[in-house]
Amino acid sequence: MNPSTKQFIEKHIQRVIEEFDFENQKEKNPDRCPCYKNKKCHEVEGLNCFLCYCPEYDNSLEEGGCKISSQKGKWFVKGGKKIWDCSDCEHPHKKEIVEKYLKKVFGVN
């Protein structure tokens, strides 16, 4: 990655995290997500919506699953198929996890 690009990303990670704070999005972009008008999809203090779809959700399996083996998820059966439900998991919605993920993806400190 270009060093100036890396510096730019490193400098603005906190701004990205703040921008995707649930309360901020609810105020600035109420039409972007139905949850912004109704209620939070996860009851997490300081909910961050940047990782709306968890990068740890295992899409390689038809029934889904969790790559980090979170104990907050659960299996349910719909239409005779077992499906992983991680709606009780707050892991990807905490700002410190979002920051860690962004730093990992972009290789910044």
Residue 25 in contact with residue 17, Cβ under 8 Å?
Answer: no
Each residue's pLDDT, cut to its tens digit, for the chain (109 residues) gives: 788 888 888 899 999 999 999 999 999 999 999 888 888 888 888 899 999 888 899 989 888 889 998 888 888 898 888 888 888 888 899 999 999 999 998 888 7
Residue 72 in contact with residue 87, Cβ under 8 Å?
Answer: no
Q: What is the model's pTM?
A: 0.78
Q: Which sequence spans correspond to the domains of the chain?
A: 3-106
Any idea of the CA torsion for 31, 33, 38, 41, to the nearest 10 degrees?
A: -170
Determine the Cα–Cα distance for residues 95 and 83; give it in Å rounded to an integer.
27
Residue 28 has a pLDDT of 94
